[in-house]
Amino acid sequence: MRRAIFPGSFDPPTNGHLDIIRRSLPLFDEIIIAVLNNPEKKPMFTVEERCGIIREILPGVENGKCRLLIDSFSGLTADFARRKSATAIVRGIRAISDYEYELRMALMNRRLEPTIETVFLMAAEEYSYVSSNLMKQVFILGGRVEGLIPATVEARMREKLNG
């Protein structure tokens, strides 16, 4: 049983996240999409809302034999991965600028939990500039983000902004 976690803030999930999930499907039997509950950050969506949005968009992913689960966690990613008996942490790399941050996290996570490998997958070129923060910023300022985030996410952001 090859179980991985795909940790992140997912505030909100983007098509870049879905691209990484799709790419990791053939590699694992089970992937837990793990939403970080970070009280230090001021997210647009609560952890429950983010999990709900992911639950709404996952049926659009042709998951084949791989089981996709959604969970949230607080504290260390390495601890969560160990608690879930995962053997891998999946992370997406969009551009070389992601590498340094990701390398530091991977090495620290390896030190914390030497049995768990970080697996890096390269995002599709068309999502190489897509980040949750950029999507929020552009959307809030009235720019077009279709094709970069799922339609559900756009609808939830519109609801959020309109109160």
Active site residues: 17, 41, 94, 132
Distance in Å from the first CA to the final CA of the chain: 44
Name the minimum Å distance from CB 9 to ligand PNS: 4
Binding test (CB under 6 A) with ligand PNS, winner from 4, 5, 6, 8: 8
Smallest distance from ligand PNS to CB 29, Å: 22
Tell which residue, 11, 32, 147, 24, has the closest CA to residue 93. Answer: 24
Tokens 């008996």 belong to residue: 85
- Number of residues binding to ligand PNS, judged by CB under 6 A: 10
Q: Which two tokens stand for residue 67?
A: 């089981």
Residue closer to ligand PNS, measured from CB, 75 or 143 = 75
Read out DSSP for 94-133? -SHHHHHHHHHHHHHHHHH-TT-EEEEEEPPGGGTT--HH
Is residue 108 at the binding interface for ligand PNS, with CB under 6 A as the rule?
Answer: yes
Q: Does 24 bind ligand PNS (CB under 6 A)?
A: no
Instruction: Provide the binding-site residues for ligand PNS, judged by CB under 6 A.
Output: 7-9, 36, 76-78, 105, 108-109
